[in-house]
Amino acid sequence: MDMHSATTQGSPSPAITVQDTIVKATEILDMAGDELMIAQQAVEECVRDFPLTDAEMRRLQKLDVATQTVASVARVLRNLMSLSPTGVSDSVSLTHVYDGVTLGEVVQVLKGEHAPDVSVAAGEIDLF
């Protein structure tokens, strides 16, 4: 008996659909979002009594922007799948795709416009 052939026959190359990949990518982004919320809370507590410079504050604020960006991509992928497209080259409504996304730079990238430097207005808001 050819054991190698038997093993190959018994273990077909695993497959996943495009749709299932996108759904699972969305779930993984949700996991990342949960991790970011925990990290953000920890950072906030750690630096509470720490005198931050404006530059440090701006860099730490990237964490909040990134958390919102990750949540926005999860939203975009969910919106996309909710439109039930059948072909990868199918066109769907752009406004439906970014429905519920509040981050302007995410909408701009989806529209094919240049995304602004998100750090510009950072000094005007709280740390998180």
Q: Can you give the binding site for a copy of itself, defined by CB under 8 A?
A: 13-19, 21-22, 24-25, 27-29, 31-33, 35-36, 38-39, 41-43, 45-47, 50, 52, 56, 59-60, 62-63, 65-66, 69-70, 72-73, 76-77, 80, 85-95, 97, 105-106, 109-112, 115, 118
Spell out the residues 6+ positions from residue 80 whose beta carbon is closer than 8 angstroms to its own.
22, 92, 97
Least distance in Å: CB of 99 to a copy of itself? 12
Nearest residue (CB) to a copy of itself, 9 versus 91: 91
Nearest residue (CB) to a copy of itself, 2 versus 54: 54
Rounded to whole angstroms, the Cα distance separating 127 from 57 reads 6
Phi, psi of 33 (to 5 degrees): -60, -40
Rounded to whole angstroms, the Cα distance separating 1 from 76 reads 52
Nearest residue (CB) to a copy of itself, 6 versus 92: 92
Least distance in Å: CB of 57 to a copy of itself? 9
Nearest residue (CB) to a copy of itself, 3 versus 46: 46
From 73, 66, 69, 64, select the one nearest 125 (Cα to Cα).
64
From 123, 120, 124, select the one nearest 56 (Cα to Cα).
123
Least distance in Å: CB of 1 to a copy of itself? 26
Q: Which amino acid is at 6?
A: A
